[in-house]
Amino acid sequence: MKNRFREKSIRLAQMIEGEYVKAGRHSRGFWEKGLAVLAEAGMPAVLTEIGFISNREEESYLLSDEGQQEIVNNLVSALKIYKNSVER
């Protein structure tokens, strides 16, 4: 399936990954997958993997208030950057 928002979705994914890296998270890169849930979206769409609960250290981070707040801040920051880049 071709997503008419493919380029914008890739740009958004790059911005989210960049915010994770700025916060000191390990970069796992990003991949393009043909997932129906993304392809059918009427807007730029991404799925983000924020960690692995099978890793004790990451599980602790994901369960902590600080870790959750940091992830939210990264996502909000990336969305703001994306929105500002699209409006110009």
- pLDDT tens across 33-88, in order? 777 777 778 888 899 999 999 999 999 999 999 999 999 999 999 999 999 998 66
Query: Is the pLDDT at 24 greater than 50, yes or no?
Result: yes
Average pLDDT, the chain: 89
What is the band of 3 on the pLDDT scale with cuts at 50, 70, 90?
low
pLDDT of residue 53: 93
Q: Is the dihedral of CA 5, 37, 69, 18 positive or negative?
A: negative
pLDDT of residue 2: 55
Q: Say if residues 78 and 70 touch (Cβ distance below 8 Å).
A: no
pLDDT of residue 1: 44
